[in-house]
Amino acid sequence: MTDRPKAGSCVQYYQDMYSKRSAEELVTIARIKRFSERVAADPAFRTEITASPERARSAAEEQGFKIDPTELRLKDLKMASLGNPAARRSLTPLATLWLDWIEDLFRFRDLMREDGYATEVDPRFNAWRRRQVERTRTELGQANAQAIVHPVVCYELSKGCSMGCWFCGVSAEKFQGYFPYSPENAALWRDVLVVMVGKFGTAAQTGFCYWATEPADNPDYLEFVRDFQRITGAVPQTTSAAPLRDLAWTRGLMDLQKSLPAAPSRFSILNLETLLKLHETFTPEELLGFELVLHNKGSVFTKNLAGRTLRLVDDEGESKANLNINPHATSIACVSGFLINMMDRSVKLISPCRSSERRPLGYRVHLEGCFSDAADLDAFISRAVESCMPSSFPLDTRAAFPEVFSYRHVEGGFAISTAYDQRTLTGGPFISRMGDMIAEGSRTGYQILETLIEDGVDFVAATATFQELYDKGLLDDEPLPA
List of residues contacting ligand SF4 (CB under 6 A): 161, 163-165, 168, 172, 212, 214, 241
Burial of residue 1, with CB atoms counted within 10 A of its CB: 0-12 exposed, 13-18 middle, 19 or more buried: exposed
DSSP string, 130-194: HHHHHHHHHHHHHHHHHT----SEEEESEESBSS--TT-TT-PPBP-EE----HHHHHHHHHHHH
- The helix or strand, by DSSP H or E, that contains position 199, with its residue range, turns out to be helix 183-200
Is 389:125 a contact under the CB 8 Å cutoff? yes
State in angstroms the smallest separation of the CB of 250 from ligand SF4: 15
Our CB check for ligand SF4 shows the closer of 7 and 212 to be: 212
State in angstroms the smallest separation of the CB of 422 from ligand SF4: 31
State in angstroms the smallest separation of the CB of 268 from ligand SF4: 6
State in angstroms the smallest separation of the CB of 241 from ligand SF4: 4
349 pairs with which residues across the strands? 338, 367
Our CB check for ligand SF4 shows the closer of 217 and 476 to be: 217
Our CB check for ligand SF4 shows the closer of 59 and 270 to be: 270
State in angstroms the smallest separation of the CB of 363 from ligand SF4: 14
- Torsion angles phi and psi, residue 133, rounded to 5: -60, -45
Is 323:301 a contact under the CB 8 Å cutoff? no
State in angstroms the smallest separation of the CB of 167 from ligand SF4: 7
Biggest CA pair distance of the chain:
78
Helices of type H across 304-395:
374-388
- Torsion angles phi and psi, residue 304, rounded to 5: -80, 145
Our CB check for ligand SF4 shows the closer of 165 and 377 to be: 165
State in angstroms the smallest separation of the CB of 158 from ligand SF4: 10
Our CB check for ligand SF4 shows the closer of 172 and 310 to be: 172
Give the torsion sign (CA, 399, 404, 407, 412).
negative
Our CB check for ligand SF4 shows the closer of 215 and 233 to be: 215
Our CB check for ligand SF4 shows the closer of 241 and 438 to be: 241
Our CB check for ligand SF4 shows the closer of 292 and 449 to be: 292
CA dist 408 to 100, 202, 336, 363, 463, Å?
42, 42, 29, 25, 21
State in angstroms the smallest separation of the CB of 186 from ligand SF4: 24
Is 357:313 a contact under the CB 8 Å cutoff? no
CA dist 111 to 8, 114, 194, 206, 331, Å?
9, 5, 23, 10, 21
